[in-house]
Amino acid sequence: MKYVMLALCLGLSFAVNAQKVKVDKQNFEVKGERIFKDGADVTETLTLERKAEIKKAVQIQKAEEVAKQAEKAKKEAKKVEKKEKSAENKRKKAEKELAKKQKAQSNFDKAKSNLEKAQEKRTKLMERGKLSPVDEAKWDKKIKTLEEKMAKAKKKLK
C-alpha cells in the first residue's frame, strides 16, 4: 500500500513539473499552459488542434510514467511480502525446533525420574527383604527397560 501511494505521489510530481514530449518528430516542452519548442514559447503560434494533440501526448506520457511507477511499486511490494513470508517461515521453523528440544528435554527428565524412583524402590524392597528371586528378576527387567528409555531420550536430546 505504501508503494502504491509513493507511485501516485511521484506521478503527481511529474504532472506539476515541465513535461517534454515528442509529437511528429518535433520536441516540445509543456510548462503549465505554455508550450515551448527549443526554449521558445510557441503557444500562441500553434493551432487549437495542435495544442490539444501536444497536451494529449503529455497526458499519455504521464499515464505511462505513473503506470511504470505503479508496476515498480507492485514489484517492490511483492519482494517485501516474499521476504516477510520467508522470515515468518524461519520463525515458525525455529519455534518448532525449540518445542521439539523442550519436549525431548521433558522426556529425558521424566525417564530419568522414573528410573531413579524404580531403583530407589527396588533398593528399599531389597533392604527390607521383601524381594523374591522372581520379583528381583522382574525389577531388573523393569529397570533395564527404563534405562533403555532414558538412553533413547538422551540420544534424542542431542
| 52-80 per-position pLDDT tens digit | 787 888 888 888 899 999 999 999 999 99
Q: Beta partners for 22?
A: 27
pLDDT digits (tens, 9 = 90+) for 92-120: 999 999 999 999 999 999 999 999 999 99
Q: How many domains does the chain have?
A: 1
pLDDT of residue 79: 95
pLDDT of residue 15: 47
- pLDDT mean over 3-25: 59
List the domain range (segments joined by +) for residue 123. Answer: 2-157
pLDDT of residue 142: 95
The yes-or-no verdict on residue 43 having pLDDT over 70 is: yes
pLDDT digits (tens, 9 = 90+) for 109-149: 999 999 999 999 999 999 998 889 899 999 999 999 999 99
Measured in residues, the chain has a length of 158
Confidence of residue 19 (pLDDT cuts 50, 70, 90): confident
The yes-or-no verdict on residue 24 having pLDDT over 70 is: no
Q: What is the DSSP string of the chain?
A: -HHHHHHHHHHHHHHHS-EEEEETTEEEEEETTEEEETTEE-TTTS-HHHHHHHHHHHHHHHHHHHHHHHHHHHHHHHHHHHHHHHHHHHHHHHHHHHHHHHHHHHHHHHHHHHHHHHHHHHHHHHHHT---HHHHHHHHHHHHHHHHHHHHHHHHH-
